[in-house]
A = this chain, B = another copy of it.
Amino acid sequence: MQVWKDYQEQHKDRFLNELLDLLRIPSVSARSEHKADMEHCAEAVKQRLLEAGATTVTIYPTPGHPIVYGEKIIDPAKPTVLVYGHYDVQPADPLELWHSGPFEPVIKDGKIYARGACDDKGQFYMHVKALETMVATNTLTVNMKFIIEGEEEIGSPNLATFVKEHKALLKADVILISDTAMISMDTPSIDIGVRGLSYIEVEVTGPNRDLHSGVYGGAVANPITMLAKMIASCHDENNHITIPGFYDDVVESTAAERAKMAEAPHDDAAYASDLGVQQLWGEKGYTTNERTGIRPTLELNGIWGGYTGEGAKTVLPSKAFAKISTRLVPNQSSAVITEKLIQYFQSQAPAGVVVKATEHHGGEPYMTPIDSIEYQAAAKAIATTFGKEPIPVRGGGSIPICALFEKELGIKIVFMGFGLDSDNLHSPNEKYDVFNFYKGIATIPYFHQFYADMKQ
């Protein structure tokens, strides 16, 4: 609609500056020293929602970080769209690899560089600005609800309880989430699934103190070596995961589904070149898109033990640690896989060391049916602003709360992500293209319009 275009053109600099202000708040949910920043950020989100036209906005405290809820109800008889997003971000380290401060956003070559630029401040904020656009131009045709949480990056430990206790408040017809990516701006796509997650930490203890590696070396099990042996045995020679029962509940994609997936444009050589690797890696018998989309995976997220400083220290350490996560596909259960992982590591403990495996957090896989009204409304909105039908794809990431939303609220989720895989999510130099930010703000009102029409 021309009124949207005009309004957004007129206010675009302010939209961007408001996002930059939000990005300056180091809302790292995983680190307890950022507790005050989290509260500050929740307060900022509340203010922005109110300014955009939400009539009621409440900050709900939780045992962890607060949840921001806001709404603009125009008519209880109209359909209601619940927007979910998160104001927390991943830790920024390793800091030395950032070209500019992770919480000092800069715009370079049309890209906003900052932790959270794309994941998810830049993306959820498009919805705030879309609300403002519709309210300001008096074109809002649905009731809008917002739930912007502060614990997505640590597995949403308190959101489930909140959802269960506020079912009436959150009552809606559809949940809309922008926390995923498109293939490219030339090849728009819609994620029809996100993978589940199971995340554990493993602690291996050998001797009761760090030892001199000369005096004791050769006579005592080294916890780093033992941890390495356990990690090495997690994948077989075909890069198939060896954890007993890991694949038991996996719903295999049909040949037709795989054929459909293969139609999405993808170039392994370009993908490898972008990542700077000579050769790709993965489970035998599957393509790259299948490996990241329809197959469960196991990744080492961190490892540490012994002396890691400058120079050399001849120590045989007492302990070694690893952070390990798996991505899950329908119908795997996060709880079941976590149990199997813990069981595996504890049962594999080599003689001479003690292994303790503990759960970090998890989330279930989720799929959106492409024949649903919500998917159709999103596809039509994207086709309108991109001039091209979006391709449905299976995303590799996880949004832990999706399955719970569906179970508790009985409604479907549609993903309208405007990021790119190359946005360095969770990595140094996270970025979000200014173009994509504006494109999202332009596209989102169409979703509401089409969804309202289709629901009539």
- Complex CA distance for A306 and B308, rounded to whole angstroms: 13
- Complex CA distance for A304 and B353, rounded to whole angstroms: 19
- Determine if A425 is an interface residue (Cβ-Cβ < 8 Å): yes
Instruction: Show the binding face of A for B, using Cβ within 8 Å.
Output: 29-32, 90-91, 93-94, 97, 153-155, 181, 194-195, 197, 199, 201, 206-222, 224-225, 227-229, 231-235, 271, 275-283, 288, 291-292, 295-297, 299-317, 320-323, 325, 327, 350-354, 360-361, 395-398, 421, 424-429
Evaluate whether A225 and B235 lie within 8 angstroms (CB atoms) in the complex, with A302-B305, A307-B301 already known.
yes
Most B Cβ at <10 Å: residue of A97, A288, A395, A426: A426
Contacts of A282 in B (CB 8 A): 218-220
Contacts of A398 in B (CB 8 A): 214, 314
Across the interface, do A313 and B292 meet the contact criterion of CB distance under 8 Å?
A: no
Q: How many copies does the complex hold?
A: 2
Across the interface, do B427 and A315 meet the contact criterion of CB distance under 8 Å?
A: yes
Contacts of A292 in B (CB 8 A): 215-219
User: What are 18 A-to-B residue pairs whose CB atoms are below 8 Å?
Assistant: A208-B277, A212-B427, A213-B301, A219-B292, A220-B280, A224-B303, A225-B234, A225-B235, A278-B351, A281-B350, A299-B316, A301-B316, A302-B306, A303-B303, A303-B320, A304-B305, A312-B323, A315-B426
Q: Which residue of B194, B199, B208, B229 contacts A232 across the interface (Cβ within 8 Å)?
A: B229
Evaluate whether A219 and B281 lie within 8 angstroms (CB atoms) in the complex, with A199-B314, A211-B426, A314-B199 already known.
yes
Across the interface, do B304 and A221 meet the contact criterion of CB distance under 8 Å?
A: no
Q: Which residue of B30, B214, B320 contacts A309 across the interface (Cβ within 8 Å)?
A: B30
Across the interface, do B215 and A424 meet the contact criterion of CB distance under 8 Å?
A: no
Across the interface, do A277 and B307 meet the contact criterion of CB distance under 8 Å?
A: no
Beyond A225-B232, A225-B235, list 13 extra A-B contacts (CB 8 Å): A31-B310, A90-B313, A181-B215, A213-B426, A214-B327, A218-B291, A218-B295, A224-B231, A228-B303, A279-B352, A299-B314, A301-B317, A315-B427
Across the interface, do A301 and B306 meet the contact criterion of CB distance under 8 Å?
A: yes
Contacts of A426 in B (CB 8 A): 210-213, 313-315
